[in-house]
Structure 1
C-alpha cells in the first residue's frame, strides 16, 4: 500500500488501472479487426485482478475462427501482441486475458472437467495422475479445479512439455 492511501483507495486505483488496460486493448483490437476486415464486438471486464477482453460476433460466419487458429495458437499470439500494446502505452507489464468467439471460455470448461476426472481417478487409485502437456493457461485452470476438489497438483517438466500431476491427499 502506498503511504497515505487506504486499502479501498488502492483497490480503486487497481480497478482503474485494469480498466485502462482494457480500454487500450480494446482500441488495439478494434484497429486489428478493421485492418483484417472482420466483424466483431469487443467486451471488456475485470476478472480475478486482471483485465479481460473478449471479441464476440453475432454473425454465424466463421471469420473470428481465423483469429483463434488451430487449438488457440493465433489467439495466444494475439494475446501477447495485445499485452505488448498495453505495455507500450502504460509502461507496466499486463496480465490481460483475451478470448475470441468464446474459445477460451469453452476451453476452461473442458479443462475443469479434465481436472475433475483426474481427481476422481486419483481418489479411486490413491496414485498420482500425470496429464498431457499443456499451456500455462490450461495448467492454471486444471490446478484451480484440483484445488477446488480438495487435492494438490503440481506442474512438472520443461516448456513446451510441462504438464500437471494430480497428487493424492
Structure 2
C-alpha cells in the first residue's frame, strides 16, 4: 500500500493533490480526513488548512514497476518500462541506453535485482505472483546462447565418449540446458553439487 498526506485549503483540493502524486484514478483511493480545515476571520486571518491521508492498494505489477523505476531513477538511467501479465507471472522489460550495468556479468546483476523485486512485492501479499525482469532482450539472447552451448558440448561428449562438465549456473539456466538436450538417445544430462555452485554434466549413453 502507498499513502501520501497532503494539505490544502479544502479537503477536496488536498485529495486532488494526493491523487495526482499517486498517479491513480480517484475511484481507487481510500481517503482519511486528518483535519477538516476551517476558514479564518473574513476568510483570511486564522484559517486552518485541511489535511488528508490518501492511500492506494497496489497490484503486484504496479509495486514491481515502481521498485524498478526507483532503481533506474536512482542510477540516473533512462529506460522505457513495458509490462504484461500471464497467469501468475508478471513480465517487466526495460529498453534504453547504458543499461548494461543493470545486467552485469552473465546476467548476475539482473538476476539479483529480479530476486529482490520478487521478495519485496510478494511480502505479506495473498495474491503472490512471479516477476520476470528482462533488459534489452537479454534473457532471450542468453537462452539462445545456452542452447547453442548445449548442442556443441553434447556433440563433444558424444564424439569423445566422455562426460563434459559445465560451469556453475543458476536453476533457470540449468533448466534451459536440460530442456535443450531432453529426449536424445546418445547423451543424457544431470546436475551435481550444491547451490550456488551446482553444475550440469552432459554424459554419453553407453
Q: Does the pair score TM above 0.5?
A: yes
For 2:34, the equivalent position in structure 1 comes to none
- Cα distance in 2 for residues equivalent to 1:49 and 1:167: 36
For 1:12, the equivalent position in structure 2 comes to none
For 2:82, the equivalent position in structure 1 comes to 43
Structure 1 residues 158 and 53: CA distance shift in structure 2, 3 A: same
- Cα distance in 2 for residues equivalent to 1:137 and 1:114: 15
Query: Whose strand proportion is higher, 1 or 2?
Result: 2
SS of the equivalent of 1:71 reads: helix
Q: Contact 2:146 / 2:173 at 8 angstroms: preserved in 1?
A: yes
Query: Whose helix proportion is higher, 1 or 2?
Result: 1
Q: Contact 2:60 / 2:129 at 8 angstroms: preserved in 1?
A: yes
Q: Deviations over 1:120-159 (max 9, x none)?
A: 2233344332212222222121112111656531110122
Unaligned ranges ≥5, structure 2:
1-58
SS of the equivalent of 1:79 reads: helix
For 1:120, the equivalent position in structure 2 comes to 155
User: What is the Cα-based RMSD across aligned positions, in Å?
Assistant: 2.7
State which of 122, 137, 147 in structure 1 corresponds to 2:172.
Answer: 137
For 2:194, the equivalent position in structure 1 comes to 158
Residue 106 of structure 2 corresponds to residue 32 of structure 1: no
- Cα distance in 2 for residues equivalent to 1:149 and 1:141: 15
Unaligned ranges ≥5, structure 1:
1-19
The number of residues matched between the two structures is 146
List, as ranges, runs of 4+ consecutive aligned residues in structure 1 with deviation greater than 4 Å.
46-49, 91-94, 148-151
Bigger relative contact order, structure 1 or 2 (CA pairs below 8 A, ≥6 apart): 1
TM-superposed CA distance for 1:92, in Å, is 5.8
Q: Contact 1:68 / 1:74 at 8 angstroms: preserved in 2?
A: yes
Q: Deviations over 1:32-89 (max 9, x none)?
A: 22233221112223569633221112xxx32x11212233222122111110122126
For 1:109, the equivalent position in structure 2 comes to 144
Larger Rg: 2
